[in-house]
Every structure is written in C-alpha cells, then in structure tokens.
A = this chain, B = another copy of it.
Amino acid sequence: MDPKVMADTMWTLVTAMLVFFMNLGFACVETGFCRVKNSTNILSKNFIVFAVSSIAFWVLGYGLMFGNGTGFMGTEGLLFLGGADNSPATGEAYKGAYTALNWTGVPLLAKFFFQLVFAGTAATIVSGCVAERIKYFAFIAFGFVIVGIIYPIVGHWIWGGGWLAQKGFLDFAGSTQVHSIGGWAGLAGILALGPRYGKYNKDGSINAIPGHNLSLGLIGCFILWLGWFGFNPGSTMAADPDAISRICITTNTAAAAAMLSATVVSTMLLGKPDLGMTINGCLAGLVAITAPCAFVSVMSAFIIGLIAGIIVVLAVIGFDKLHIDDPVGALAVHLANGVFGTLCVGLFAESQWTPGQASGLFFGGGLTQLGIQLKGVVAVAAFVFGVAFLTWQLLKATMGIRVSIQEEIEGLDIGEHGQQTYPEFVTRKPAYSYVSIAERVAE
C-alpha cells in the first residue's frame, strides 16, 4: 500500500469527522442563542438536517457537483455515486466520471465523505436564520433542495471545474461555497418568513431576545472552532505537511484576532463585553479566513481576523436596524464574513501560495484577482438567493413554512414536537429588561 495514499486518506477522513462534528457545534450555538420554548425544535432541525444532507448528497448532490459535465453542472455519474472512478489515481492518470477531484489520490468514498460534511454545513447554517418560526417539515424539505440541488450546482462552478473555476475564482475551503451559500439561502428564508412575533415594534423599535443558554452557546462555539481545524486544513484532502500546518495557524490566528476585535468593538458600542458578540466574533474570523487560509501569511490572517471581528458586530446591529430578523446572528457571521473572506483572497493572497495566479491587491497583484472574486460573489448571490427564494415561496404555497401565531407564542417545542427540552425546570421571561442591542448603541 502506498503510504501517501494511507496518510492522505487518514487525513481526509479524520478532518471530515471534525467537520461532521460541527453539526453539534451549530446545534449548540443556535439552540443556546434562542429561547427555551423553541429549543427542542432547533435541536431537532440541526440534528435531522445532517440525515437529510447525507441522503440528498448521495442520491444526487455529489454527481451534480463533481460529475464531468458542462460549466454549469455535472452530468456524468449523477446518481448514487454511480460513475466509474479509479481513485486513488491522481492527475493525468485519473480515468473516471469525477475528474474535478482528480488532484487528490484518496478513495472515492473518502472524497464523498469530506464533501458531504461540507454540504451539510451549508444546510445547517440556514437553520439559525429561520429559527423560532419555521415549520419543522418545511425546513426538512428545504434541506433536500439546498443539499441536493443548490449547493452542488454552485459547487460545480467553484470546485467542480465549472465556469467560476475556469475564470480563476479562488475559494480554498468555502467562504463563498459553504458560508455565503448558507447565508444567502437563509436570507431568502428570513424574507419569506418575516420576523419573529414581538421582535420589532410598530414604532420601529427593536426588542432584544436573549438566548436561553450561553453554556450551550460556548460549547457550540468551541466545537465549531475545533471543527474548523478539519474544515480548512482538511480541504487539502492530502496530508501535505507544510500546507496543513500553515493553514492550522492562519485559521487559528484569524479566529483569535476576531475575538479580540469583536470584544473591544462591542464593549465600546454596548458598554460591556457581551459573550454572544465574542462568540460571533470568533466564528466571523473563522468564516473570513476560510477562503484565503491557504493563500495568505499568518500576519495577513491576523489582519483579516481583526477586520472580521469588527464587521460582525456592525452587521449584527445593521441587520437588526433593517428589521431583518436573524435570531442567532447567522447572516452577520456567515454571509457578511463569507463575502468579506472571499474578497480577502483578492486583497491578501501571495503568489508563492497560489501558483499560476496573481497575488492580491496588497501584494502587488493589482485588481485582477479581486475582480474575479467579486464576480464570483455576485454570481453566487444572485443564483442562490434567487433559487432559494423561489423554493421558499413554493414551500409556502404548498405545505406552508411558518407556524401559527398561537404556536409561535406558545413555543415550537409543544407545537411541532409535543415535548419540552427541560420539562422539570421552572422558567419565566428573562428577568432583565428587554433593551435591544440597537438601543444600547443609541444610548
């Protein structure tokens, strides 16, 4: 057995497991940041969505994404991983239906596993956006669409050898492919659903709705941070010592920098260091470094993180002011910083790590790469938002997407699941006054 294939396969599988584990991270962050009356529902959504992803990506998604085909989508080996494949042959020697991944010499099912857990991440991001008001089965239905169709089509453009890849668009581990897809689809959901009951007053003022369990939130964030050591360094799909070591550190440094800047900025704006903001700062740094993690220096990663931490705080406040009701800050984290991170490739990339392509603006490459990155951001935004919005409307017209107002007030746990997360604990409305973040900034 070729030891390189052994090592590469181990690396790919172990990092895929870490990314799989991010499902728990998202479940904990999103549940912790929402109210107790909806907590079973959010746990359930973030749990079953990976089952949905596993089936949808196996049946159709992988083929659409990586099958040989047109610039728009894959057409060979479309269903059930059914195409010929001679992995672990690599490059020129590869003969099969999934040429776009011929650069890594691991077995087909290892590639599938790694790509599956990525697809699942995009779907789970949506869960946070639509939390506390969506019907359970409507969310499941949307999960099949995003993982079976939306995610893999864009994935074909970017990682499947499609038209964006051919233009030189760079998105190493998916600031656009994973995070902004989740964000755009979630934004469409938010607009289709409308805000939660009681979030915005008639006079335009905003009510803060604090999460019910910050311990859960922090557990989630640490699991996500751990998972990102799979997400980014694993995207090599090969145990390349230099690359994976460096990506670990660019990833970690951006997260750390963003935590510090988000904490400082939120303290300046809100008066005190809010743990939720530090958590979202961490995630923002991780999202932002995801696209450029392999192409930039540690110092650049530090700067990217610092900016990401500022962006996320402003975005949380900004989305709220626009009355876009994003219960857990998912848009601020995944959409705003997904876009920012993608553009960072055009700003901070250095040609020593992007062979055959221009450096970013700050490293003498001019505007070339930045232009390509911008084109990708816009194209993905238009396609994903459009198709997702249509899907939500279709679901609205058929099965309905929003629970009744009575159910929403009582809580989705009783309404959708007939149970409570903590049936023996006595709960109440939060004791401290509902002063919204926007109001605290205004003061």
Contacts and interface: CB of A to CB of B under 8 A. Distances in A.
A428 B423 CA distance: 8
A9 B238 CA distance: 12
A80 interface: yes
A421 B215 contact: yes
Nearest to A242: B107
A35 B222 contact: no
A218 B27 contact: yes
A142 to B, nearest CB: 15
12 contacts: A1-B241, A6-B239, A10-B10, A43-B214, A52-B260, A55-B253, A109-B246, A212-B425, A272-B418, A272-B419, A275-B417, A424-B427
A67 interface: no
Given A226-B21, A263-B48, A272 B417 contact: yes
Given A7-B7, A109-B249, A256 B420 contact: no
B253 A214 contact: no
Number of copies: 3
Contacts of A213: 215, 421-422
A17 interface: yes
Contacts of A299: 80
Given A241-B110, A246-B109, A249-B112, A136 B273 contact: yes
Contacts of A246: 107, 109
Interface in A396-425: 414, 416-425
B432 A423 contact: yes
A54 B253 contact: yes
A14 interface: yes
Contacts of A253: 54-55, 58
A278 interface: yes
A112 B249 CA distance: 8
Contacts of A27: 218, 222
Contact of A214 (B40, B136, B226, B270): B40
Nearest to A260: B51
A172 B241 CA distance: 24
Interface string A39-80: 110011001101111110010000000000000000000001
Interface of A: 1, 3-7, 9-11, 13-14, 16-18, 20-21, 23-24, 27-28, 31, 35-36, 39-40, 43-44, 47-48, 50-55, 58, 80-81, 88, 106-110, 112-113, 116, 136, 210, 212-216, 218-219, 221-223, 225-226, 229, 233, 239-242, 244-246, 248-249, 252-253, 255-257, 259-260, 263, 270-276, 278-279, 282, 298-299, 302, 414, 416-432
Given A241-B107, A256-B55, A260-B48, A271 B418 contact: yes
A420 B430 contact: yes
Nearest to A10: B239
B256 A51 contact: yes
A18 B113 CA distance: 17
Contacts of A221: 47
A101 B420 CA distance: 48
A107 B245 CA distance: 7
A255 B430 contact: no
A6 B272 contact: no
Contacts of A242: 107
A418 B269 CA distance: 13
Give the interface centre of A246, A278, A419 by most chain B CB atoms within 10 Å: A419
The 3 closest A-B pairs by CB, nearest first: A423-B430, A54-B256, A24-B222
Given A10-B10, A31-B215, A110-B241, 17 more contacts: A1-B4, A13-B244, A28-B219, A36-B424, A43-B215, A55-B253, A55-B302, A107-B245, A109-B248, A112-B249, A212-B424, A213-B215, A213-B422, A214-B419, A214-B420, A423-B431, A425-B425
